[in-house]
Amino acid sequence: MPSIPTRTFSPLDLAGAAFSSPLFSLIIALVAAGGIALIASRPGRGSTRLESGEFPASVRTRYAPEHRALGVAALWVTVVFIAELVIRGHVITDQTLWWWRFAVPITCAIVGVCVVFGLIVTRGTTSAEAPVLPAVRRTWASFSSRSLLMMAGLTFVALLATTVAAGIASSPNGAGQYVWLTIPIPNEPGIDPIRLPFYGWAYGAPVLVALTVLVAVTWATLDRNAARTYLRPETIAPERVARRETARNTTLIATAAALLTLAGAWRLIASAGSGSFLTITGQNADAPYDAAWRFSELAVAAGWCAPILEVTAFAVLLLIAADGLRPRTAMHSSAPSEAPSNADALR
């Protein structure tokens, strides 16, 4: 009885198949976010709490809505991204060009950050009972971590560079949409070049527009968050904690959305780097033609890095959502609550 040959898969093949979908990255992120939240919740981790009895009601009223909105915004970006992925891949099976698919997470982040900006302007800038005028002008970066801002900047620059470089390398299809990568066959002008789906201008142009808007609304939110006056001199310490949380989570949501878009772009670019040879029956003695893209190694490497970006982005969004939507009976601080010094009152 003839035996049926079976194919064996290496651990690398299995890992590649598992991480080929952002859904698997979401599962890994759920586990990672749960572990991080569990570790952070243990006592004695070097942080203290400002309990509700020590936290003025006026401060809770002022900042709680924007913190909840940030949690909702993080969940909103995650849910819409996954819903769009499932609908496009499993529900709608036609060949319609989803030109806006890569801009979805950035667009969702824009909506969420705009809501937070509106809350800061309408409810987060209530009239101060005894306003404290700063000696120096606070800027949009006053309550943000420098390392976090650098990480966000590097992410935005990487997405910008990827989009522009891929757009320049792309080619139009029959309808004039730049969604192909054209790979010519060396020394064989009579053979049509290979055309592969690619992250061209048709996808990149909406991403550039959305990224510009995201940077603008994020900057405006951070600026308004810093510029508002404190309620009273004795509320400066808890208000600074609240403003740091607003600035941190706003920046993280914008960064995570850009990471999801960058990961999607790298996945599509990597698919163009996977093909290396073309075989045409009856031509070249049935030997394959070398049809490799000269940046194929870089494209494949980007494809392996894409799941790392997705896991990072999902974990960040899930942690922000869990923190923002939990009951606000306490607030984390890196130092015990104390009366503000004269220097604090002037910042």
The pLDDT-based confidence of 51 (bands split at 50, 70, 90) is: very low
Into how many domains does the chain fold?
1
User: How confident is the model over 233-255, as a mean pLDDT?
Assistant: 92
CA distance 177 to 179: 6
The whole-number pLDDT of residue 305 equals 94
The whole-number pLDDT of residue 39 equals 87
Is the model's pLDDT at 346 over the cut of 90? no
Residue 281 is assigned to a structural domain of this protein:
yes
CA–centroid distance for 195 within its chain: 30
Is the model's pLDDT at 341 over the cut of 80? no
Residue 323 is assigned to a structural domain of this protein:
yes
Determine the structural domain holding residue 224 and report its residue range: 11-337
Residue 1 is assigned to a structural domain of this protein:
no
Which amino acid belongs to residue 344?
D
The pLDDT-based confidence of 296 (bands split at 50, 70, 90) is: confident
The whole-number pLDDT of residue 338 equals 41
Residue 3 is assigned to a structural domain of this protein:
no
Question: Model confidence over 60-84: pLDDT tens digits?
Answer: 888 999 999 999 999 999 999 999 9
Residue 2 is assigned to a structural domain of this protein:
no
CA distance 262 to 38: 29
Backbone angles phi and psi of 8, in degrees to 5: -100, 145
Q: What secondary structure letter does DSSP report for 130?
A: S
E-strand spans in the chain? 48-51, 171-172, 178-183, 194-197, 277-278, 289-290, 330-333
Residue 347 is assigned to a structural domain of this protein:
no
Residue 343 is assigned to a structural domain of this protein:
no
User: How confident is the model over 168-177, as a mean pLDDT?
Assistant: 89
- DSSP states of 235-254 as a string? GHHHHHHHHHHHHHHHHHHH
The model's pTM: 0.85
More confident residue, 295 or 336: 295
Residue 42 is assigned to a structural domain of this protein:
yes
Q: How far apart are the first and last CA of the chain?
A: 85
